[in-house]
A = this chain, B = another copy of it.
Amino acid sequence: MRFVVIGGDAAGMSAASRAKRNRPDLEVIVLEQSEDVSYSACGMPYNIADPDREMDDLVVRTAEAFREKQGIDLRTGYRVDTIDVGNREVSGVDFQGRAFHVPYDKLLIATGASAMPPDLPGFDLSGVFVLRSLEHGRMIRRFIKTAPVQKAIIIGMGYIALEMCESLRAREIDVVMVKPGPDLLPWMSREMSSVVRSEIEGHQVRLYPGRKIMGIEKKDDNLIVRCEDLDLEGQMVLVATGIRPNSDMAGRAGLVLGPSSEISVGRDMKTSNENIYSAGDCADAFHVVTGKKTWIPLALRANRGGWAVADNVTGKSVELEGVAGTAAFQVFDLQVARTGLGVKESEKSGFDPVEMVIKSRSRAHAHPGSSTLYVQMVGDRISGRILGAQMVGKESAAHRINALAVALHQAMTVEAFSRCDLAYAPPFGPVWDPMLTCANQLLKKLRG
């Protein structure tokens, strides 16, 4: 049997490796359009922050290792452009411009997602970057090294934008950030997003939310980002305005897509075609809180999805649970973390959300080094269930959030969570962990 994988990043290579481990006799072919496979994409901003690192130290495993140690037929520079579902064959063009055709028994589409720059003039100018692939990362490193970049304009204010903001500041580049939407981190409670905003501004970064962007222009050696009522001038522009699933080919092959064009898959990662699976940033998932389909492209799910596909292709029968949308990022000295639904998302999903935001301490009363920790929790008035949580603080937020992620997987009520026996020692928190304090207070509000 032949298992063909389109895309050699997290989901694709996880699937290929595990399939080969599960069934060494399986023929596994991976078709990857770039030369890079299996790297830590999320590490790119941190890599760029350090002038002494190489982009390639993010490579977890080389193409050679996959070929030689794991017996995977990994073909880099192979761009697939057509899936013929009738004849079970993919075709495309290789790095030498030659057409290829590869028949499959089972196929995995792990084509990921692409940056989504707005369709406006000037976004193709030299000095304008996106950061999605290792090659993008190399281009940015090279540009910073060779061009005299004093100031960068970041368009967007999501995870990547914020991580790159910190990264560029670490390289002593001035940064301004701009976006059309009115709020920094719109999914976050306002009190907490203003803490994040202060942290960013405290590092000499100006934020311009709510600015309609008209285009980018070249002016002498500089670039100008033209907004409706503002011109931002610098030597470099990073466009981090979100991503879209690479699903055009899947759509042309007649596979069912979701509302953001993500490829629709079942709990077994199978698409609407019996022989085709999809995993990674191009595929959707069930949300553990809503039970409905969602598209939250994150690394853990990509890896886990890849494994599940491998198991299903090799004869085990695996169904994945949903995602909780658990995520964390660092911005300067702050950790920001979330899991589950915010208030607006809860309302949209038909819940009756009640929100509690508390300000607590990261360590015990009078313990040195303690800092403020904000904890937000959303509960459903009808069922009493926890719907989601967010945290912001200098320490522990990114790890604390996992206790609440587990709670979401178990559909725990706020009350049940409030009864949990969590760890206490003065260097790590108050006797009542801030999550418990938040749950206790939310419980009162839910009952009140």
Q: Are B46 and A367 in contact (CB under 8 A)?
A: yes
| Residue among A335, A367, A402, A407 with the highest chain B CB neighbour number at 10 A | A402
| Contact segment of A144-152, A187-195, A345-353, A417-425 | A417-425
Taking CB atoms, residues of chain B closer than 8 Å to A57 are 366
Which of under 10, 10 to 19, 20 to 34, or 35 or more describes the interface residues of A? Answer: 35 or more
Is A342 interfacial (CB 8 A cutoff)?
no
CA–CA, A304 to B53, complex, Å? 50
A10 at the interface (CB under 8 A from B): yes
Q: Which residue of B lies closest to A399 (CB)?
A: B399
**Is A405 in contact with B425, judged by CB distance below 8 angstroms?**
no
Q: A143 an interface residue at 8 Å Cβ cutoff? A: no
Binds B, one of A23-31, A245-253, A293-301: A293-301
Interface string of A384-407 (1 = CB under 8 A from B): 000000000000101111110111
Least Cβ–Cβ distance between A160 and chain B, in angstroms: 11
Q: Name which residue of chain B comes closest to A416, CB basis.
A: B409
In the complex, whether A343 has a CB less than 8 A from a CB of chain B is no
Residue A382 at the B interface, CB < 8 A?
no
Known: A40-B364, A364-B42. A423 touches B60 (CB 8 A): no
Q: Mark A58-82, 1 if CB is under 8 A from B, else 0.
A: 1010000000000000000000000
What is the distance, in angstroms, from A28's C-beta to the closest C-beta of chain B? 21
A-B contact pairs, 11 of them (CB 8 A): A42-B364, A42-B424, A43-B426, A303-B431, A303-B432, A329-B425, A402-B420, A406-B412, A406-B422, A409-B420, A410-B410
Known A401-B423, A403-B405; 15 more pairs at CB < 8 Å: A40-B364, A40-B426, A50-B368, A57-B366, A303-B432, A327-B423, A329-B425, A339-B421, A339-B423, A402-B423, A403-B403, A405-B423, A406-B407, A410-B410, A410-B412
